[in-house]
Amino acid sequence: MAIQTAFALFCLYAGWQFYHFLLWATGHSETAVLRPSSVEGFLPISALLAFKRLVVTGLWDTVHPAGLAILIAAMIMALLARKGFCGYICPIGLISRGLAATGKRLNMGKEPPRWLHRGLTSIKYILFAFFAVTVLNMNIQSIELFLRAPYNLTADAKMLQFFLHPTFITLGVFAVLAVLGMLVPYFWCRYLCPYGAMLGLFSFFSPLAITRNPDTCLHCGKCSKVCPGGIKVEQTLRVNSPECIGCMQCAEVCPAKGCLEPSLPFIGKIHRAVPGLLAVGILLLIYFWAIYTGHWDTEMPAAMLRRFYAM
């Protein structure tokens, strides 16, 4: 939780810096502020299109390069450390955790029946399938036109305005999601997040997983109750579900010493801190690589960006 909180605070700082950059870019301030490229992490559709372009052409997106770097880092995390991006990086995951804790304190939080849980879980995979099919059906020319379009160039500004000046309907949707997040733990993450669905498909092939020792298991059910993904941990020997985010909460609440531990094939049990450190390490490694190779900051001149944002 400490790692996720630190990243959430960083996102707030980046948003604050981007807000002041926009003030300068739109002529409302004389103080020039550098645009924080990390805000591109909130543009998943643009990054997904840029990823297809990279796979097909080998060309890195120069409009929102940091967004593509963050997407690739999240994919690598999922392959090596379960859905580490969801468990340790994503600020929405931290909000969901806070809502779940609030619901528990108010005695509001309830686990839905398994049949309903399975049905609701399919929603995010359907949403991701829609985006994936749309991207796959777009040819490279269409993708390049979108990536260079004024709409995509200023998508980060539109995203900020969405949060700074929400409509009544937007506030209503946020309120409903907040209440649902207190009634059903991690409602958004479990059932609605297409980004998490995509990473779940990658994490299915991860060698890292929580393993349960049936000889020492007390079958107390604490691990299943605390699991953000709603996984019945006490009923499996190896948690290989795409809903596992590698957060280690199940291992932390387990009263039986050594019963639940992360492990790797041919290596065996590893320290509980490894998944989190691995997730952060992958993100930082991709970040420094992108900085060193010029794949982090946009190649568009500040004067050109200022003209587009002013429009």
> Would you state the pLDDT for residue 153?
87
pLDDT band at 302 (very low <50, low <70, confident <90, very high): confident
pLDDT band at 26 (very low <50, low <70, confident <90, very high): confident
Encode pLDDT of 119-166 as tens digits: 999 999 999 999 999 999 999 999 999 998 888 988 888 888 888 888
Please state the length of the chain.
Answer: 311
pLDDT band at 27 (very low <50, low <70, confident <90, very high): confident
Q: Give the residue from 86, 61, 63 showing the smallest Cα distance to 73.
A: 86
> Would you state the pLDDT for residue 67?
95
Encode pLDDT of 36-69 as tens digits: 999 999 989 999 999 999 999 999 999 999 999 9
Q: How large is the average pLDDT for residues 189-210? A: 93
What is the spatial order of strands in the sheet that 268-269 belongs to? Answer: 238-239, 209-212, 260-264, 268-269
Which residue, chain included where needed, has tokens 């036109």? 145
H-helix segments, the chain: 2-25, 44-57, 65-81, 84, 91-105, 114-137, 140-148, 150-153, 155-164, 168-183, 187-191, 194-203, 222-226, 249-253, 273-293, 302-310
The mean pLDDT value of the chain amounts to 91
**Contact by Cβ (8 Å): 83, 275:** no
- The pairing of strands 238-239 and 260-264 is unpaired
Give the list of residues 6+ apart from residue 194 with CB closer than 8 angstroms, or none: 124, 125, 127, 128, 130, 131
> Would you state the pLDDT for residue 81?
86
Structure tokens at 125: 């995979």
pLDDT surpassing 90 at residue 1: no
d(CA 42, CA 61) in angstroms, rounded, equals 16
DSSP state of 1: -
> Would you state the pLDDT for residue 181?
94
Cα 44–chain centre separation:
9
**Distance between start and end Cα atoms, the chain:** 40
pLDDT surpassing 80 at residue 305: no
Domain segments of the chain as ranges: 2-310
Encode pLDDT of 251-297 as tens digits: 999 999 889 999 988 888 888 889 999 999 999 999 999 999 999 99
pLDDT band at 82 (very low <50, low <70, confident <90, very high): confident
pLDDT band at 110 (very low <50, low <70, confident <90, very high): confident
Give the list of residues 6+ apart from residue 32 with CB closer than 8 angstroms, or none: 24, 302
Q: Give the residue from 190, 202, 22 showing the smallest Cα distance to 92.
A: 190
> Would you state the pLDDT for residue 35?
87
